[in-house]
Every structure is written in C-alpha cells, then in structure tokens.
C-alpha cells in the first residue's frame, strides 16, 4: 500500500462552528505534509465535516460518500474520513460503518486533535478507525489554519443547554461549557498581532457565556474585554438566543465602538403556541420588545434571524403570525428552513406532522415576503456612505471587490487588490435584495 499521501480535501457542512473545526483539521493535515486540493479526483485524503441540524445536509453526505466508491476503487490507497456532528450520534455513525465500508476513519467533534494518531493507526493496521470522545472538551489548544488572513472565528463556548424540541445540537455537541476569558483574550491578542481586523465570537448560544465559569463572567463583560484589544477593528458574535438577550448586552452593543451594529436573533416562529411547543422559553411579545430596545439603543442596527416553517401542529393562523412577525421587525437578512424530523428530538415524536406540500407552499410565501423586505431595507442605503471591510475579489468579476459593512451587508464595488484587507468608505449607488453596489469615496 502506498502511504505517500500529499493532497487533502475538506468538505464542510453546517454552521460557523463546523467551519472553525475544519480550520483546525486543515492545520493538522498540513503539519503532516498534506497540501490543500479542491479536486476530489486528485486528492489522496478526503474528509467530510458533517452537520446534523437539517436533514438535507445529512442526505448530501450520504450521497457524496456513495459517489466516492468508484474513486476509492481506482485509488485504494486514498483515505476517506467522516467527522462532525453526525458522528456524535449512534444512528448516523452506525449507518456509515455498515453501509459505507470504503470510509476509513470516523471521529467526532470533541477529538479533532487526535486526527494525526488516527491516521497513523489506520496506516499501520489498514483497519477502519472509529474514535468518538464523549467527554466535553473546551480548552482545545489545537492550532488553526485560518481560511481568511484578516477575519477570524474565535470559539468562546461549546454545547447547548436549551434542548429546543426540534434541535439535535445538545445531543451532538453536549452541554454548555465556556472557555476562560483569559484564553479567549490571549487568542484574540495573538490574532491582532498577526493583522486580523475582524473577530466573530462563536457559540451555540453566546448570550449564556460564562455560566460554567467560577467566578462567573457575563457575555457583555467579555465583549468589553475584547473591545479593549488594540488592532481589532470589528467584533461580531453568533448565535444569540432571545431568552438570554439581556439589557446588559444591548447596552454593551450601544456603547462599545468595535461591536458591530448587527445581531442574529433567531425567533423560529411568530406563534406563541408553536414557540411553547418548540421549548423556546420566550413569547412573541418578549421578542418584539427586545427588537424595540435594540432599535432604540443601537441606531442603524441590522437584524437577521432563523425561521422554521412547518413545525408539527403549525396551523395557517400560526404561520400568519410568523409572516406578521417578519413584517413588524423588518429584517435585513434571514435564513428559512422547512422543518425536518431529527431522530432523537422530542418534536420527532409529536403528532400532527405537516405534509411536505403544505410546508413548501408556506415556505415560498415566507421567502417572497422576506425578499421584498430585504429589497426595501437595502434601498434605504442608497446615497449613504458606509464603511466596508474589503474581503476580496468577486468570484464573478475580477474587476470588482467585495466586502461587508458593519451591518453585515454585502457590497460590490470597483477597486484594486491594494484595497483588500482595508476599511474603505463606499457610497451606495445600487442594490438588490441581497447585496449593495457602490463606489469608493
């Protein structure tokens, strides 16, 4: 068997946390002498970092793994690995082991640092290696091969204690556990020294950061610490839960100059009945009061959200409540999902599952409504001059640069490579529902 493996490909599904994990995997592979390769046909090591939150992501993994059988026959020395949230659950793991026997290595979200030893074990034995860590690990010191030279994700906590009835994350990622503020601040200071300008603090529910620490530290207190780090220009965070969105956090957003005027605040449903069935632990009225406070205290704030369509028992009246919520809030961005059964969650056992055709019809009505609102919100930016962090060159036009405003709006404009990584002022001259156009001033 030929073990001179040189090229690797990582296919990542799911949230920013998964993408952050893939950056760690990339670093580990490159320390072993691998080089990144986008073409599966040319790769010697293929790894799927999986997501279990939505059924579509899970099915895609199964489909792509099946398609690799022929490639594995042609290149028997190639190693195929699967990791991520899917592998933390017994059913998905058992499916991979029994039906996809060309997969060589399986590991979970909590033992990424052991990947080099897993590869070595597979090389020496030729056997399928399955290694799943059940204990919570937060202070993972695995270095990171970051995808972007001046924008970075920083994990501040893992796990979730909310147990929403539709969500598999607590079962895949475990209970909430927070990193110490010292380790977070040291990581961000190191990033600042390396020229990073924008930091996104990550957690399944960043608002509950610090509850496992002794002494306890609140998330707004952590934001204040990060805000004081020289060199960092922008601070973002994902994801917030409405039940933990405190006045202290809103005041911190209003007063801390580096914290961007943007928040992702999933409401999932506009119906109090459905929210109760989802175990979201807040009401429609509470959520709207949070939005009122945010708009009042943080001028020009932009808002994004997650919405689930077709949760079990959702009536037309419940769905109309969701539509009215969208109109009342006026979101700048939003992510909409058809409810999908996740085995192991309480919602999977609920009666009154909604037929797919009903979910699809409601979904279309929702996105039609949201896209109109996005269009009008972007139209309000016409004539304004906005600060943009230039992220790179457009994939569709080498003469066009792309970047994000503090409100996380995507902007396209003409400029040179010298502008990449800089904060520039852009006058907005055009728009559609999803992006702005402008010119540097």
Q: What is the CATH number of the domain that holds 401?
A: 2.40.50.140
Q: Do residue 105 and residue 170 come from a single domain? A: no
Q: Do residue 187 and residue 278 come from a single domain? A: yes
Whole-number Cα distances in Å, 74 to 41, 44, 69, 98, 365: 10, 11, 9, 21, 47
Q: Do residue 93 and residue 155 come from a single domain? A: no
CA atoms of 204 and 182, how far apart (whole Å): 20
Instruction: State which of 361, 377, 393 marks the end of a domain.
Output: 377
Q: Is 164 labelled as part of a ligand binding site?
A: yes
Whether 433 is in a domain gets the answer: yes
Q: Do residue 332 and residue 388 come from a single domain? A: no
pLDDT at 137: 56
CA-closest candidate to residue 151, choices 418, 404, 436: 404
Q: Cβ distance 389 to 197 under 8 Å?
A: yes
Q: Is 381 labelled as part of a ligand binding site?
A: no
Instruction: State which of 377, 401, 423 marks the end of a domain.
Output: 377
Tens digit of pLDDT for each residue in 82-124?
999 999 877 889 999 999 999 999 998 888 989 999 999 999 9
Q: Cβ distance 243 to 280 under 8 Å?
A: yes
pLDDT at 140: 60
pLDDT at 1: 41
CATH of the domain at 39: 3.40.50.2300
Token pair belonging to 120: 């070595």
3-state secondary structure of 74: helix
* Burial group, residue 39, by CB count within 10 angstroms (0-12, 13-18, 19+): exposed
Q: Do residue 173 and residue 117 come from a single domain? A: no
Q: Do residue 373 and residue 227 come from a single domain? A: yes
Token pair belonging to 166: 């539709």
Residue with tokens 């072993």: 32
Whether 141 is in a domain gets the answer: no
pLDDT at 147: 85
Whole-number Cα distances in Å, 15 to 26, 210, 236, 239, 240: 17, 22, 15, 10, 14
Whether 138 is in a domain gets the answer: no
Q: Do residue 174 and residue 296 come from a single domain? A: yes
CA atoms of 48 and 106, how far apart (whole Å): 10
pLDDT at 134: 65
pLDDT at 197: 97
Q: Which domain holds residue 182?
A: 151-377
pLDDT at 2: 45
Q: Do residue 286 and residue 188 come from a single domain? A: yes
The secondary structure of 242-288 as a DSSP string is GGG--HHHHHHHHH-TTB-SEEE---B-S-HHHHHHHT----HHHHH
CA atoms of 319 and 331, how far apart (whole Å): 17
Q: Is 167 labelled as part of a ligand binding site?
A: yes
Instruction: State which of 328, 356, 377 marks the end of a domain.
Output: 377
CATH of the domain at 288: 3.80.30.20
pTM for this model (two decimals): 0.88
* Residues in contact with 125: Cβ distance below 8 Å, sequence separation at least 6, in sequence order: none
Which portions of the chain are predicted below pLDDT 50?
1-3
243: left (phi over 0), alpha (psi -120 to 50) or beta: alpha
CA-closest candidate to residue 25, choices 40, 44, 47, 6: 47
CA atoms of 44 and 171, how far apart (whole Å): 32
66 half-sphere exposure, CB direction, 13 A CA radius: 8
* Tally of domains within the chain: 3
Q: Cβ distance 346 to 164 under 8 Å?
A: no
Whole-number Cα distances in Å, 83 to 43, 145, 147, 217, 290: 18, 18, 19, 32, 37
Q: Is 160 labelled as part of a ligand binding site?
A: yes
CA atoms of 435 and 404, how far apart (whole Å): 10
Q: Do residue 370 and residue 239 come from a single domain? A: yes
Whether 323 is in a domain gets the answer: yes
CA atoms of 58 and 276, how far apart (whole Å): 27
Q: Do residue 125 and residue 237 come from a single domain? A: no
For residue 42, what is the DSSP state?
A: G
Q: Do residue 158 and residue 71 come from a single domain? A: no
């Amino acid at each position: 068997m030929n073990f001179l493996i040189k090229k690797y490909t990582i296919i990542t599904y799911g949230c920013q946390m998964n993408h952050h994990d893939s950056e760690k995997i990339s670093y580990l592979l490159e320390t072993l002498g691998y080089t990144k390769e986008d073409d599966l046909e040319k790769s010697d090591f293929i790894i799927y970092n999986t997501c279990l939150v939505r059924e579509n992501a899970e099915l895609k993994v199964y489909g792509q793994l099946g398609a690799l059988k022929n490639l594995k026959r042609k290149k028997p020395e190639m190693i195929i690995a699967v990791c991520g949230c899917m592998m933390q659950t017994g059913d998905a793991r058992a499916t991979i082991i029994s039906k996809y026997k060309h997969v060589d290595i399986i590991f979970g979200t909590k033992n990424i640092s052991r990947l080099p030893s897993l590869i070595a074990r597979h090389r020496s034995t030729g056997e399928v290696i399955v290694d799943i860590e059940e204990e919570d690990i937060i202070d993972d010191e695995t270095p990171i091969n970051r995808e972007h030279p001046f924008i970075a994700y920083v994990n501040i906590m893992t796990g979730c204690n909310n147990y929403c009835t539709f969500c598999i994350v607590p079962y895949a990622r475990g209970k909430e556990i927070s990193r110490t503020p010292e380790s977070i601040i040291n990581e961000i200071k190191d990033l600042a020294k390396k020229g990073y300008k924008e930091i996104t603090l990550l957690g399944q529910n960043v608002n509950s950061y610090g509850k496992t620490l002794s002494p306890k530290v609140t998330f707004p207190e952590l934001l204040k610490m990060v805000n004081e780090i020289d060199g960092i220009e922008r601070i973002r965070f994902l994801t917030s839960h409405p039940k933990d969105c405190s006045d202290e956090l809103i005041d911190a957003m209003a007063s801390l100059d580096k914290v961007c005027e943007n928040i992702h605040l999933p409401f999932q449903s506009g119906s109090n009945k459905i929210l109760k069935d989802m175990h979201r632990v807040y009401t429609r009225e509470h959520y709207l009061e949070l939005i009122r406070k945010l708009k009042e205290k943080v001028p020009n704030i932009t808002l994004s959200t997650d919405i689930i369509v077709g949760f079990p028992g959702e009536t037309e009246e419940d769905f109309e409540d969701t539509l009215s919520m969208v109109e009342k809030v006026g979101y700048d961005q939003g992510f909409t999902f058809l409810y999908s059964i996740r085995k192991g969650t309480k919602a999977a056992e609920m009666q009154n599952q909604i037929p797919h055709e009903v979910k699809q019809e409601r979904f279309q009505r929702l996105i039609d409504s949201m896209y109109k609102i996005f269009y009008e919100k972007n139209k309000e930016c016409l004539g304004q001059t906005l600060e943009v962090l230039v992220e790179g060159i457009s994939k569709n036009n080498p003469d066009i640069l792309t970047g994000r405003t503090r409100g996380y709006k995507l902007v396209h404009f003409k400029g040179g490579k010298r502008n990449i990584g800089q904060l520039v002022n852009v006058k907005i001259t055009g728009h559609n529902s999803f992006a702005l156009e402008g010119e540097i001033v």
